[in-house]
Structure 1
Amino acid sequence: MDVVSNLVYLLVVLCVGFLARYVGLLNETRADRLTQFAFYVALPALVFTSTASQSLGDVLEPRLVLGFWTVLLAAAAVGWVVHRRRSSPSVRSVAVVQSYHCNLGFLGLPIVAATFGDVATAKASLLLGIGALTQVPLTIAVLVFVNNTDADLRDELGGLFTNPVLAALCVGLFFSALGVSVPGAVWTGLDAVAQLALPVALVVVGASLSLDETSVDLSTVGSVVALKMLVMPAIALATFSLLSADVSTTRAGVLMLAMPTAVSTFIYATELGGDANLASANVFATTVASVGTILVVLQFVG
């Protein structure tokens, strides 16, 4: 599919998920099962097949990791400067976190896979793993620090060590390093499951979108959307250009970092003293805005 077709597809499937939840076809139990399938089956299959099929030297690109960390920290710093004067800690913490925390798994990796092919997908899989080890601790730290929350960081971070995506990444890189081949029938099955990652993830994200009728500060939502969907991709494009990264590295890095704020930030905000209503509004607004901003990003890297 070309760029426009991909974005139309993204919008349509997001709407399908949203409407399915709205009319009750996708109730909470079914949505949870679909989320579990995406997280424990489809995404790990995509991560494994994308990395195991590539040369390890092509995937482990230092400028990819350096660029990702540079952009993530720069966006977090900009978010802190912009939102530091918010009077409420619960609002300030959520605004800062959602100005940098990207939806790398349910949107980033599947969209890269559907748009740019094998090498960029393998690099995006690496960023998904690096992102899980970087974004989540940073987000938890910001929420705990700003809200002065009494939380057991070991419990909050414990899920990282049982993350199936990280396990699939490690196995995929191991197969790549040793040149281990997967039997044809097994590979065909894994590839078929991996192809489901994008549609299933889009339905899950669409079903998770909700906008509480309780009033939110529109200026805060607007600033988060601007920082996450415009400023952060611009920083990413400038960073990978300055690093003289190759085409696949730039495509994977910029597109992954141009994703809307992750749905998981709503969960973290709810658990760690953040403004849950604002978090929900920001997820909704950045996801809807991403349909247009991703098109702009793809004009630069596509």
Structure 2
Amino acid sequence: MASITAALGPLFLLILLGAVLGVGRIPGGDFWARMERLIYFLLFPAMLVATLARADISQVPVARLALVLLGTMLVLSALLWWLKPRLNLDAAAFTSVFQGAVRFNTYVGVAGAAALHGPQGATVAAVALALMIPTVNVLCVLTFIAAGTLGRSGLWRSLLALAQNPLILACLIGIGLNLSGIGLPGWSAGTLELLGRAALPLGLVAVGVALRPQALLRRDLGLWVSSLVKLVLMPALVLVLAWLLGLDPVSQDVALLYAALPTATSAYILARQLGGDAELMAGLITAQTLAAMISLPLWMQLT
């Protein structure tokens, strides 16, 4: 337990630092909004490309990892739709509950995997991202469509955003460079590596800045259901499947880490743009991020 908290503790401190900066509006203006865009569109994609392009994918049990992570995601997605008429939530609230239950914070995931298992953990984490990012984005867009919160313009905008998602594109580019044997020629490797190093600490601080403690004042059934699925059911199911499929210790740790992560801060923007309940989404992000500081080390102790 001590080694797990020692690895994850600095990540949580960076998130709390971000929360303090956000409350104090430091440095002010739209600095953090612009910084988050820089991280999302440049720094984090650079890290994904650099990691995937050079990863020894043959050492990662891709098929079994996909069965564990994507299988869990699909099962719980079906469960949420089955629960929908029983939750008495309007369409906008349900889309936020769905996002809160299936999305995951990529910054915390990659940083946590690297902290726990070094370069090998980062490689497995990057492969897991390549599997999960396209899947979760498609599932969320389909949920907005099925829930009926999109008009025609919203549908087109969401499909366009899906096709232009920088994380999906980075995963495709990194895998393409890897499988083609091109890798990262010349100075590109060093450049992308330097950019990628900035992504995780800045991303973690940005997570803290995005927290909205006042949103927790809204006590909502959807908040409890979504958080229960995300922080309890998802890691429990992943742990069982990882054991049944015989994942190696590093892959099992990374799979469990991703399953136990809080939802992504980017879900708030998607909720606001595509007709979701943005206030509920802000509450979910804040509640899950704070709760995960306790629940995540406890889950990781079970592997």
Length-normalised TM-score, structure 2: 0.87
Answer whether contact 1:94 1:143 (CA < 8 A) is retained. Answer: no
**Which of 196-205 and 19-28 deviates more?**
19-28
Answer whether contact 1:137 1:157 (CA < 8 A) is retained. Answer: no
**1:255: which partner in 2?**
257
> What per-residue deviation string (whole Å, max 9, x for no partner) do you get for residues 92-140 of structure 1?
332233122222x232223222322223322322332332211112112
**Which of 142-151 and 33-42 deviates more?**
142-151
Gaps of 5+ in 1: none
How far has the Cα of 1:37 moved from its partner?
2.5
**1:209: which partner in 2?**
211
> What per-residue deviation string (whole Å, max 9, x for no partner) do you get for residues 21-78 of structure 1?
2112143521122212322332123212322332232347111122221110122223
Corresponding position: 1:200 with 2:240: no
How far has the Cα of 1:158 moved from its partner?
1.5
Partner SS, residue 117 of structure 1: helix
How far apart, in 1, do the equivalents of 2:198 and 2:216 lie?
35
**2:122: which partner in 1?**
121
Q: Aligned pair count?
A: 300
Cα distance 1:271–1:122, how it changes in 2: closer, same or farther (>3 A)? same
**2:133: which partner in 1?**
132
**Which of 81-90 and 105-114 deviates more?**
81-90
How far apart, in 2, do the equivalents of 1:213 and 1:43 lie?
27
Cα distance 1:91–1:194, how it changes in 2: closer, same or farther (>3 A)? same
**2:237: which partner in 1?**
235
Corresponding position: 1:190 with 2:180: no
Cα distance 1:80–1:216, how it changes in 2: closer, same or farther (>3 A)? farther
Amino acid at match of 2:8: L
**1:12: which partner in 2?**
13
Answer whether contact 1:129 1:166 (CA < 8 A) is retained. Answer: yes
**Which of 212-221 and 39-48 deviates more?**
212-221
Cα distance 1:196–1:114, how it changes in 2: closer, same or farther (>3 A)? farther
Amino acid at match of 1:138: L
Q: CA RMSD in A?
A: 2.5
How far apart, in 2, do the equivalents of 1:178 and 1:128 lie?
20
Answer whether contact 2:49 2:170 (CA < 8 A) is retained. Answer: yes
Length-normalised TM-score, structure 1: 0.88
Partner SS, residue 259 of structure 1: coil
How far apart, in 2, do the equivalents of 1:55 and 1:215 lie?
47
Partner SS, residue 84 of structure 1: helix
How far apart, in 2, do the equivalents of 1:5 and 1:56 lie?
28
Corresponding position: 1:77 with 2:78: yes
Answer whether contact 2:8 2:115 (CA < 8 A) is retained. Answer: no
Answer whether contact 1:39 1:164 (CA < 8 A) is retained. Answer: yes
| Identity, % of aligned positions | 23
